[in-house]
Amino acid sequence: MNYTISQITANVKKTLGSKFSARELDSQLFLIYEKILNLSRLNVLAYPDTKVLNSDYKQIVNIVSRLSKNEPIQYILGETEFYGLFFKVNQDVLIPRPETEELAQWIINDFKKATITLLDIGTGSGCIAVTLAKEILSSKVFALDISEVSLKVAHENAQMNGVKVNFIKQDILNAVASDLPVNLDLIVSNPPYIKKSEMILMQPNVLDYEPPLALFVDDADPLLFYRAIAKLGCSLLKPGGALYFEINESLSREVFQLLESFNYYEIAVKNDIHGKPRMLKALNYKP
Ligand SMILES: C[S@@+](CC[C@H](N)C(=O)[O-])C[C@H]1O[C@@H](n2cnc3c(N)ncnc32)[C@H](O)[C@@H]1O
């Protein structure tokens, strides 16, 4: 017997209803139908009595079973959307987050028509670097990560989106300026910033599947990455060049003071759409 879309939807809601909100489930179901049945949201809603092939049904059952084990839908489907672009993702890279889209949006608003050279530090899936390369047409983009496997995914994402990004494998905590591109107009970074003590507050879909290297820092020194990048930024950025960070909402004051201590100026903290201080911009000292 072939099930219809509406029968499958009802079954999935029964199976996963206690795990996800109705909104989360709906959006996951639309993604699944789009990927497996190649049907848009509109078609799913318009034709709920469409019969689903057995082979497709088996794939959907498999996805639902993985969702029930907390695996993120983005890893299951192998892709996600960021700033209207598609990105390949797997467990080697962090799943791009909406607040990071807001950071990219801030930069695009500031530099859309400029000719700039920029460096994305801790590029992961390449979501920031690729988006900026696509949106700021006259940009030259460098992106670095310590993780070889992340860089492989980021490279595929640059190709998939038809942009050129120069990738660098580097440990930013042990880098010196001569290892890196200089005379930059802009550095952007969404570095690891979650304190290990905050792990207990986190959901299993993150803890069990996303790469710890992308997420956590020791409680003893949560500003580790910001300090290293701010220090390097003084030599890598042109005078007046801009540094943009995504930040932990609990550390905005500390990152602000850190940047002041390196003589950055016009330091501005920006709230995300939920009103939380999640981004910061500063300009490199002009002698
Ligand atoms: C929070 S993730 C950000 C990923 C991506 N930019 C995004 O916004 O979705 C931090 C990234 O920093 C990288 N990273 C961790 N330690 C690093 C280090 N010492 N040097 C360079 N990159 C590092 C991780 O591999 C990870 O890709």
- Tell me the per-residue pLDDT of 95-143, one tens digit each, with 9 for 90 and over: 999 999 999 999 999 999 999 999 999 999 999 999 999 999 999 999 9
48 and 97 housed in the same domain: no
pLDDT of residue 161: 98
pLDDT of residue 114: 96
* Residue 77 falls inside a structural domain: no
What is the separation of C-alpha 231 from the centre of its chain, rounded to a whole number of angstroms?
Answer: 24
17 and 145 housed in the same domain: no
Where residue 125 sits, what CATH number does that domain have? Answer: 3.40.50.150
Q: Assess whether the C-beta atom of 150 lies below 6 angstroms from ligand 1.
A: yes
- Domain of 30? 5-69
Residue nearest to atom 9 of ligand 1 (CA): 96
The angle formed by the CA atoms of residues 123, 126 and 129, to the nearest 5 degrees, is 85
Examine the pLDDT at 178 and tell me if it is beyond 90: yes
* Residue 75 falls inside a structural domain: no
pLDDT of residue 83: 98
156 and 181 housed in the same domain: yes
179 confidence band (pLDDT: 50, 70, 90): very high
**Which stretches of 118-174 are DSSP H helices?**
127-135, 148-160
117 and 37 housed in the same domain: no
Q: Assess whether the C-beta atom of 191 lies below 6 angstroms from ligand 1.
A: yes
55 and 170 housed in the same domain: no
17 and 101 housed in the same domain: no
35 and 171 housed in the same domain: no
Integer Cα distance of 267 and 247 in angstroms: 13
| Residue 261 neighbours by CB distance under 10 Å | 11
Given a contact cutoff of 8 angstroms between Cβ atoms, the answer to whether 270 and 280 are in contact is yes
Q: Which of 190, 194, 216, 229 to mutate to test the pocket of ligand 1 (most atoms within 8 A of CB)?
A: 190
Q: Assess whether the C-beta atom of 181 lies below 6 angstroms from ligand 1.
A: no
Closest to 144 in 3D by CA, of 161, 127, 166: 166
* Residue 177 falls inside a structural domain: yes
Q: For tokens 């993604």, what's the residue?
A: 31
Examine the pLDDT at 145 and tell me if it is beyond 90: yes
87 and 175 housed in the same domain: yes
* Residue 107 falls inside a structural domain: yes
Q: Is 183 left (phi over 0), alpha (psi -120 to 50) or beta?
A: left
Give the mean pLDDT of 3-18.
96
Query: How many structural domains compose the chain?
Result: 2
62 and 87 housed in the same domain: no
pLDDT of residue 50: 96
pLDDT of residue 249: 94
pTM value is 0.96
Q: Assess whether the C-beta atom of 147 lies below 6 angstroms from ligand 1.
A: yes
pLDDT of residue 242: 98
Q: Which two tokens stand for residue 158?
A: 């640059």
pLDDT of residue 198: 94
152 and 33 housed in the same domain: no
168 and 278 housed in the same domain: yes
159 and 245 housed in the same domain: yes
286 confidence band (pLDDT: 50, 70, 90): confident
Q: Which two tokens stand for residue 188?
A: 């952007």
Q: Facing residues of 217 across strands?
A: 195
